[in-house]
Chains A and B, each alone.
Chain A
Amino acid sequence: MREEIREAVTVLANRYVMKWKSGGGRIVGYPCSYMPVEVIAAAGMLPFRLRAMEVVSTSIGSSYYGPVVCSFPKCILQIAGERKYAFLDGAVVCNGCDTMRRLDDCWRKANDDMPGILPSYFAHFAVPHKVTDYSVKWFAGEIRKLIDSLEKHFSVTVSDDKLKMAIAEYNRSRTLLGDLDAMRSGPDAFLSGTDAMAIFIAGTAMPAADFNALLEDVLGGLKKKKDALPGRRLLLVGSVIDDIDLFKTIEEAGAVIVADTVCFGSKDRTDLVREDGDPVAALAERYLGSVKCPRMFGDYKRRFAFLKELAEKTGAEGVILQNIRFCDLHGSENGIFERDLEAAGIPCLRMEREYGPLGDEGRVRMRIDALLERIGAGGGGSRRALSADRSR
């Protein structure tokens, strides 16, 4: 793994962030994949996806959040409270899930006690939970509202042309990421899931232009590699992951993660935004149109179909269904995924974990080992055996 990628993955204030800042650039943080980053980029700023890899305790996060919520937003608040997000000029919190949207409330209130931890620009951005003509229209309105407030606060102009340029730039990333994704897929996969994930994560922490240049370079080098990696092909599903060590733990057990549907990973990262017509409408359609997150209630069938197709396309021999504790959106849906994937003859592992640095490698490793052994022993179960099991 290249040093600049490793750094972008493990250090919040990485070299790209520092270079952008030293050039007088502004940075706006956001916490969710439903955030149309092109808007921030078109305003001339660097969109930075909020993470908390440097966290060692949640003493601040737990002072504002209650005890029974997901550790991810809590850790982001912790990092903010520790002033490690001092490089942010703004942050936009959106309602990806209930705990994440309350980052808005908690961060603002924490700022009352620790003045200065809140960026000067701070906005709440809402995303509907369904895809209909009127919800897409409403969402486009929400995007326009965000544009207006960015323009006002930072005295910038976000023209349609700038939006279109930003869309084109991010679409370029998406196309390149699609190429990258193909290299870690199938029996011939020669790129590890860990390396692919690192690149996917790095893309959320640097300017798109730098990322595209880096990606082209990386892809050029990878095209010379052809040796398939050994290991069981696995698909990774569920709650947000920005921790390459978790990927490493899984792959070191004798697997290759050939695909994922997690935030920071390849989920939604290769779907293009339409480049013709009204750019705001195009962004609204593309971002709200994605139903890959269980926050889009009632869309299980489409998600399952997508998952099954992905498993087939990438040659996945087993599926890891994980969730961060208290993430019931992924956790409960994983229960039905397990039922339906097992019925289709695909062995699954359901697993609960904590966010990144708070995780417990031993627990994870033991479970992964057992899944791999089950696949190896052919204990995936024939369709017949598993459907008989369901009828109990």
Chain B
Amino acid sequence: MRNELTEYNYDWRFWSILDNASKLFDATEKEFTSTMAYTPSFRATTGKLSTTGKAGHRLVKATARYFENILTARSRGKKIGLITYNFSPAVLFAFDVVPYCLEGMSAFYAAAWNRGIYESLDYCCEVGFTETSCSGQRVALGPVLAGLAERPDFIVCSTPGVCDSNANAFAFASAYLDVPFCQLNYPPTLTDERAVEYHRADFRNMLSFLEEQTGKKVDVDKMREVCEEIIKQDEIICEIQDYQRLVPCPVPGIFNLFIYDIKVLFSGIKDGTDILEAMLEIVKDNAERGVAGDGVERLRGFFYYIDHYCIQMKYWRWLEKNGISHIGTMMTDFWQANAPYARGREEEGYRMDLSSLDSMIDSLAAQSSRMPMVKQIRGPYDAPHMWLDDTVGVANLMKADFLAFMGTMGCRNTWSMVKLITRDMEKLGYPALILYADSFDNRIEPVDTFLGKIDEFLRVRDIRGWKGAVWK
């Protein structure tokens, strides 16, 4: 790692970027533009977020608070729990633990910062990771391992049984830093009695771990508080996703990222609900006016795994500029029983039952077991409730014109089945493209190259008469 990168604490650095950015949103247009001139390396990201109005502003403010909570955790006597993005942080809020979501941070670092992330990716390899390991964790884990970010008190990882690469990164962090490790481990099926029983027992086992780490017992009132907030948030998310079905799609593409950001960073707390309320207002307004979220809709794309976060969100800006409505990823579907894609498949979704502490715990366990990836890639891809079912369901519901796969080069699980699902989707009549880019590491396949491939694909396959992308 270069010397200059070791001068500042990463959490502090990004808190200050966000905190300053959040203040900028209250500035005049002139103040905003002239300040932007001085922030070349994250100007485009801030600019992008500023175009989303109140929702983007609230998201930046809430994220600044997220970092601030991490930075002040020690002085406030709170514990920091290092978690992965497919673990709902709501239960940590109920325990008054400060969550530190690795991939959430990775996506943010990748979006806000062009250069330094490569060094944190590589730092992990210098201390022992294979260079083929998943980038999703490495971007943000580098500074943690280097002692340039807050040290976690413990780790909760919810990917064993779902994603080896992810679980392995957290297991590595636990061994390297010598901090306690707790895993939520999932069976390959979702709704049968044995699976449900396992989910519940495992979730309770995790609660015991949290009790042990925090020295606190489960607090019924706090648990109820976060569960009530989850219900509010889920209702709004489901409504937004219902609007997403409209042609043209009134939901701005970037709101997909907001949805999963909220679920992985602010689930169960008011910050998340506030952002969602602002989002819904914008979406409703667009819908009433009959306009697309990003202006004009030329095509509707479903990204059947994850998105791309590097180089100042160029991918998001490119989709928007080209009128490609982003109608979701695996990451946007959390499987609330009342989600639009769960209609007719309600048993696969979760419901929040607040009648007793036990029912709340069971509900959270069910929610946990339906998190993105946790639900779909735990079993054979074409088994009931798994990746193929969900991809077909969403592609039909959201009227996708084409599908594109993008992940990370470290993702052994999806790279071992993506050819199969892609072939199936093609047979079902959906043009589907496999991209060899990496969501967090632009060095694998640079953003312009893979966007060019999407453009070429749309042209060659003549999807809705695609005439070529706008690049400038």
Contact = CB atoms under 8 A, between A and B. Distances in A.
Chains A and B touch (C-beta atoms under 8 A apart)? yes
Interface of A: 63-70, 73, 95, 97-99, 102, 104-106, 108-109, 124, 126, 128-130, 132, 134-135, 138, 141, 294-295, 297-298, 300-301, 323, 325-329, 331-336, 338-339, 352
A109 B420 contact: yes
Given A295-B164, A323-B130, A328-B164, A135 B185 contact: yes
Nearest to B125: A335
Contact of B185 (A73, A108, A128, A294): A128
Contact of B128 (A104, A138, A338, A352): A338
A329 B415 contact: no
A325 B168 CA distance: 15
Nearest to B434: A66
A105 B172 contact: no
Nearest to B414: A66
Contacts of B175: 300-301, 333, 336
A332 to B, nearest CB: 5
Nearest to B413: A98
A83 to B, nearest CB: 21
Given A106-B417, A339-B128, A297 B160 contact: yes
Contacts of B380: 104-105, 108, 124
Interface string B35-51: 00000000000000000
Interface of B: 127-130, 132-134, 157, 160-161, 163-165, 167-172, 174-176, 181-183, 185, 187-188, 194, 197-198, 201-202, 205, 379-382, 409-410, 412-420, 423, 436
B153 to A, nearest CB: 15
B417 A105 contact: yes
Contacts of A329: 164, 168
Contacts of A130: 160, 183, 185
Contact of A332 (B168, B187, B202, B412): B168
Given A126-B187, A333-B172, A336-B172, A325 B201 contact: no
Q: Which 8 residue pairs of A and B lie closest in terms of their CB atoms, listed nearest first?
A: A335-B128, A102-B416, A66-B415, A331-B130, A300-B175, A129-B160, A298-B181, A134-B201
A338 B165 CA distance: 20
Contact of B409 (A63, A68, A126, A331): A68
Nearest to B381: A105
A129 B413 contact: no
A66 to B, nearest CB: 3
B227 to A, nearest CB: 24
A332 B170 CA distance: 11
A95 B168 contact: no
Contact of B194 (A106, A138, A301, A331): A138
Contact of A98 (B164, B418, B420): B164
A102 B413 contact: yes
Residue picked from B164, B183, B419, most chain A C-beta under 10 Å: B164
Contacts of A297: 157, 160, 167-168, 170-171, 181, 183
A93 to B, nearest CB: 9
A298 to B, nearest CB: 4
Contacts of A339: 127-128
12 contacts: A68-B412, A69-B415, A98-B413, A98-B416, A105-B417, A134-B201, A135-B185, A326-B132, A328-B133, A328-B410, A333-B172, A336-B128
